[in-house]
Amino acid sequence: MPELKTIGLFFVTAIAEILGCYLPYLWLKDGKSVWLLLPAACFLALFAWLLSLHPTAAGRVYAAYGGVYIFVAILWLWVVDGIRPTLWDLVGVSVALSGMAIIMFAPRSS
């Protein structure tokens, strides 16, 4: 099923992007080691490479990826930050994922 592969790839991409941004955040905000910037750079490079694996136009991939990123960021809020998502967080995630599905999986003429 190509749809599941696309969503899975977006999910892994979002994890890479979040880690690439979260590690510098820990350094800047929490005084963690500057050495966190090295894996952060690697995660951001992985993020860019993963986005390039999609077989459709870059603009469409970037637009649709945003919906999955929102979903993963809210999961991060819950799992890593320990903050339970609100009803409005879940509504927003639903809207974002609906938009992703429309952008990526709507029928198109060749």
Q: Which residue has the tokens 């090295």?
A: 38
- pLDDT number for residue 56: 82
Share of the chain above pLDDT 90, in %: 72
DSSP string, 25-39: HHHHHH---GGGHHH
Residue-range domain boundaries for the chain:
2-105
What's the alpha-carbon Rg for the chain, to the nearest Å?
15
* pLDDT at position 110 over 80: no
Read off the pLDDT of residues 33-79 as tens digits, 9 standing for 90 and up: 999 999 999 999 999 999 899 878 888 888 888 999 999 999 999 99
**Phi-psi map region of 56: left, alpha, beta (phi>0 left; psi -120 to 50 alpha):** beta
* CA–CA distance, 104 with 110 (Å, rounded to integer): 14
Burial of 101 (0-12, 13-18, 19+ CB in 10 A): middle
Read off the pLDDT of residues 6-23 as tens digits, 9 standing for 90 and up: 889 999 999 999 999 999
* pLDDT at position 106 over 80: yes
